[in-house]
Amino acid sequence: MKPLATRQIECSQPPIFSSRSQGWENILVEEFQHPPGEGKVQYCHEHAICLSLAPRPVRFLQIKGGKSYTSLYGKGDISITPAQTPFFARWDGDDHYFHIRIASDFIQSVATADLAMNSDQLELRSEFRIRDPQIEAIGLMLLNEFKQENLGARLYIESLVNVLAVHLIRQYSAVNPRLTFYEGGLPERQLLQVLDYIRDHLDQDIKLADLAALLDMSQFHFSRLFKQSIGITPYQYLMQQRIERAKQLLLQTDHAITDIAFHCGFNSHSHLSKQFRQLTGMTPTAYKEN
């Protein structure tokens, strides 16, 4: 291996993109590109996941938790570093990766609410180079959501973060948890309570936590039971209802499309237009004139 051009990577190294400005709760997603070099970091309150996007495999030396590992990392390879674990890496090629940091206290709350675990016993394992299609899929969905600038998709982001948290606990916890799955969907009374809440708050920033709290259940179980009840996710239902409200306002009022967008919970004319086109096949203007 030829000598490396040593470069210390600090936490302030600018990413290609970062979700920091979007106000996503419990998770930070960033994309990085680095030339050959080395770096070290330790996150005290976050678990870190690195998903390689490198088009060509890159040879890595990793040291974390007192263990060393050397291997080629290619596109789709993943490493997991638990909170409070010192991490050092050295690489001999241009690196390109997607970085996810998820709050450790959020993982603990999910373990308690969804898996009936004692959060004090929760400990994630370090992983050096693994393949995990579910983590890769969630990571790429988060990346795509940010790049498409779907700034009103908080409910969707929260759903992905919850699924990721449960998956990490189930697959990478030092103690195997037991997850109870409830079947049959929500009782009609509870389902109507949620649907009425969504209808009455379409113009507001509805959170997954708000919907789950209505029924005093965890976000993960609520999402599963809601989908069992009506066949689509809470986020998909919310988008459908916002578009239906927009249709009514387009046909029954002379409001500007920007005003209709805000009234239906979208953050801009373009955001409404994008979602409207995806669900109806036409723009709001074309629908109004049709």
* CA atoms in the 13 A half-sphere facing the CB of 27: 22
Helix then strand then coil, in percent of the chain rounded to 5, is 45, 20, 35
For residue 59, what is the enclosing H or E element?
strand 58-64
Encode pLDDT of 215-240 as tens digits: 998 888 898 899 889 888 898 899 99
Distance CA 66, CA 75 (A): 26
Structure tokens at 102: 């998820």
> What are the domain boundaries of the chain?
8-172, 181-290
CA Rg value for the chain: 22
Q: Which fold has domain 181-290?
A: Arc Repressor Mutant, subunit A (1.10.10)
Structure tokens at 38: 């080395």
Predicted TM-score (pTM) of the model is 0.80
* In the predicted structure, residue 17 carries a pLDDT above the cut 70: yes
Which has more confidence, 11 or 200? 200
Encode pLDDT of 29-75 as tens digits: 999 998 999 988 899 999 999 999 998 999 999 999 889 999 999 99
CB 42 within 8 A of CB 87: yes
DSSP 124: B
Q: At what angle do helices 219-230 and 154-172 cross, to 10 degrees?
A: 110
* 8-172: CATH, from 2.60.120.10, 1.10.260.40, 3.90.1150.10, 1.10.10.60: 2.60.120.10
* CA atoms in the 13 A half-sphere facing the CB of 7: 14
- CA 167 to chain CA centroid, Å, is 12
